[in-house]
Structure 1
């Protein structure tokens, strides 16, 4: 069984979910190790994501933990095996680990629901607009750091154009449409691009206008809600200064699911949103 000292977010999540199953069964690591015929440290390492685990082992653990949720067990079994390399691994030497973890998370996502207030979502950005946004970081990135982040962001967009593209819904506040990242010409090109991608079958763009009335859901939070194969494996991603912050606790998922539900309910429909973006573009 292979081990690693730097497990990916996906490996850590598998371990976390196995720990949750064990704890719900009322077993400590010693008792679980006895049932599986391994030493206690093996259980700890599996739950920390430091040891690869087979699908058969995951199913055996689920049976011992009396987990009757077949869909969850199947999803966990699909997350097993050794670490597989993706295009994002080439960036691990140049960017914080969270950048690679985000790309891997999106690659395996069953759907994405994104809420943005002050800028266009990264997966819908043009290179010029993305470069302007990245350059606003404090402290400022060096030129080569900007280009590494730009290249990474552009490659992430591939999930929207794959043979089996991920369903993607972006709720964007009017403020994001009017922010002048890169200047007027860059923003006009960005809005034209946003209109183009909003016509894709797997992409939905919805706008919350200033004049929408009522309170703003979630007090202006920006985040990605990443859908897993089952709701228990959903993940919330928030942008923070070093890169990304991830949350998967049941209470956090419920809160952010409610926020994005309310934001979508507050927003204009897709056709109304396209008309609104056209009007903003015409006014520039």
Structure 2
């Protein structure tokens, strides 16, 4: 299986470590070759076709445009299939790949890289007709670690863009000292205050091709619309941290031990 090295992927100006640390994200194009991508996509689509728990359904999150309840039309539409790592050896090989480890060692930086089982670790979907909008938020506001220095690796299994619910981000927002008053009771970033509106005016759309890898910081503000196309949008998503960045005891983040990358 021929794949590109992380060193070559980080060589251009847009995809350097400096870009990640300044803007809070980077995109590594063609992270997987066609054969490796097909292997992962085949398993992911089979998992969706024969969906089984644990999952998170659109109706359960109650986001804008989601089905109103589980009994409504589309009420069984998955938002994400959880515990992807445990679902297939194909996903395990990707999550623990030496290139992922080297990449995270560069971006975190870290000596020993851990994969969080409790956050992301999923097949993320935006399915036609019944997907929802995801309002602006920081992932770390829902996580409990000693430091917010975690990175999500988002592998696009198909095209991702503004039309089908691709991510929007606020570059550099991971470095801002945002206060609790800028978020609502559900920890979403308020969109109507003048201070927040000014920041949101800097939003950009992330466009991905199949096999592209998006990495972003846990404090990066991001959002996404529902899928307005007739085709599913699917990604494989894992989150990583340094071994010294410990989950807070007796929280959701500590409910499953992180996995050490070999």
TM-score normalised by structure 1 residue count? 0.24
Structure richer in strand, relative to its length: 2
Structure richer in helix, relative to its length: 1
